[in-house]
Amino acid sequence: MSESLSALIEQTQGRRDATWHDFSVHVINEAWGSLVVAHQGAQLLHFAPKGQRNWLWTTPTPKPAPGAIRGGIPLCWPWFGDADTAGEPAHGRARTATWRLDAVDEHEEGVELHLTPTEPLDSQLTPRVVIQANAKRLNVELITEHTGDTPTSFTQALHTYLSVDDAFDVRIEGLAGARYLDKLEGFKEKTQQGELGIRGGLDRIYHSSRPLLLRSGSAQRRIAKQGSDSSVVWHPGDQRPGDIPAEESTHFVCVEAACTQLDRVWLAPGSQHLLSQHLSLEE
Ligand SMILES: O=P(O)(O)OC[C@H]1O[C@H](O)[C@H](O)[C@@H](O)[C@@H]1O
């Protein structure tokens, strides 16, 4: 029986390497708060300012390694959604690849982590991740550098699972009037009427770069981003994947900062793109 993420954090003073369900993770528990990042996928699994619960939701029953971990902030890279090529995984290679923790810069107020993949994940594009956390906010950056010779394009997402009390009682503000592709209706194009609530299964790509406000019970969270004109909102409703226990299925909603078929990123050799997502409490 593997220990829970909260047990690993309770047993950590400062920072250390640990194992969670066969996944190698780095655990930080400091005066400002705590976080856990997995080497698989550079995936942040937990972030909580001191005294608060995890802002992210992570399944307590992940598929065995090297299966994709459901929860936290998976990286979809260098493509979002299904692969164009047979045999390639959905959401790209980054989330099941091994990443190295190159640097941990700790300071009194928080921490900054730098991660890079241990093997090339694309013939021309090279990603890196920077995570900045403190008692007030979380910022995750996915930086893509073109290290090849010919112009190329890609899609991507920071596929954030936000922890909520009840997914069917949240309101996501900031998308009213936005055009979106409804994946559950064959990518039909529609317009968001009013603010977004979740009533059942939902899988939408909004054409929007605006910051959002997630209202969940008494908590209000601001979700801002850079380098992204697609906001993906996903909840499986009753089509629950096997790695989500029944009692957990309403405890998250995915709000993703993405670049999709609506805003594919083109890069010239030598250039780079920054995608980031920024979570904070609305004051
Ligand atoms: O099960 P996964 O491969 O992690 O994908 C989970 C979900 O990710 C995104 O939000 C997509 O829009 C969904 O269509 C997909 O079902």
Sequence ranges of the domains in the chain = 67-281
- Spatial CA neighbour of 241 closest among 101, 74, 112, 31: 74
Can you tell me the mean pLDDT for 139-154?
Answer: 98
**pLDDT value at 283 more than 80:** no
Is there a contact between 140 and 199 (Cβ–Cβ < 8 Å)? no
- Catalytic pick from 21, 146, 235, 256? 256
90 lines ligand 1 (CB under 6 A): yes
Got the DSSP string for the chain? -PPPHHHHHHT-SEEEEEEETTEEEEEEEETTEEEEEETBTTEEEEEEETTS--SB-B-SSPPSTTSPP-BSB-EE-S-SSS-SSTTPPTT-SGGGSBEEEEEEEEETTEEEEEEEESS--SSSEEEEEEEEEESSEEEEEEEEEE-SSS-EEE-EEE--EEE-S-GGGEEEES-TT-EEEEGGGTTEEEE--SSEE--S-EEEEEE----EEEEETTEEEEEEEES-SEEEEEE-TT---TTS-GGGTTSEEEEEEEE-TTS-EEE-TT-EEEEEEEEEE--
Q: For this structure, is 282 an active site residue?
A: no
Provide the whole-model pTM: 0.98
Q: For this structure, is 256 an active site residue?
A: yes
Which one is predicted more confidently, 217 or 130?
130
What is the pLDDT, as a whole number, of residue 2? Answer: 79
Q: Answer left, alpha or beta for residue 194, where phi above 0 means left and psi between -120 and 50 means alpha.
A: left
The span from the CA of 2 to the CA of 108, in Å, is 31
pLDDT tens-digit map of 175-206: 999 999 999 999 999 999 999 999 999 999 99
**pLDDT value at 109 more than 80:** yes
The span from the CA of 170 to the CA of 226, in Å, is 24
- Catalytic pick from 39, 91, 146, 159? 159
pLDDT tens-digit map of 59-102: 999 999 999 999 999 999 999 999 988 999 999 999 999 999 99
Per-chain mean pLDDT for the chain? 97
**pLDDT value at 105 more than 90:** yes
pLDDT tens-digit map of 247-271: 999 999 999 999 999 999 999 999 9
Is there a contact between 145 and 272 (Cβ–Cβ < 8 Å)? yes
Percent of the chain with pLDDT over 70: 99
What is the pLDDT, as a whole number, of residue 208? Answer: 98
Residue of the nearest CA to atom 10 in ligand 1? Answer: 234
Domain 67-281 has CATH 2.70.98.10: yes
Cis-peptide, bond into residue 78, ω within 30° of zero: yes
103 lines ligand 1 (CB under 6 A): no
The C-alpha angle 69, 210, 235, rounded to 5 degrees, equals 35
ipTM over 0.95: yes
Is there a contact between 98 and 39 (Cβ–Cβ < 8 Å)? yes
For a pocket test of ligand 1, which of 76, 203, 253, 259 has the largest count of ligand atoms closer than 8 A to its C-beta?
203
136 lines ligand 1 (CB under 6 A): no
Can you tell me the mean pLDDT for 38-48?
Answer: 98
What is the pLDDT, as a whole number, of residue 282? Answer: 80
Q: Residue 217 — very low, low, confident or very high, per pLDDT cuts 50/70/90?
A: confident
The span from the CA of 72 to the CA of 95, in Å, is 12
Question: End-to-end CA distance of the chain, in Å?
Answer: 40
CA 32 to ligand 1 centroid distance, Å: 32
- Beta-bridge partner residues of 16: 27
Q: Residue 117 — very low, low, confident or very high, per pLDDT cuts 50/70/90?
A: very high
pLDDT tens-digit map of 17-38: 999 999 999 999 999 999 999 9
Residue of the nearest CA to atom 3 in ligand 1? Answer: 90
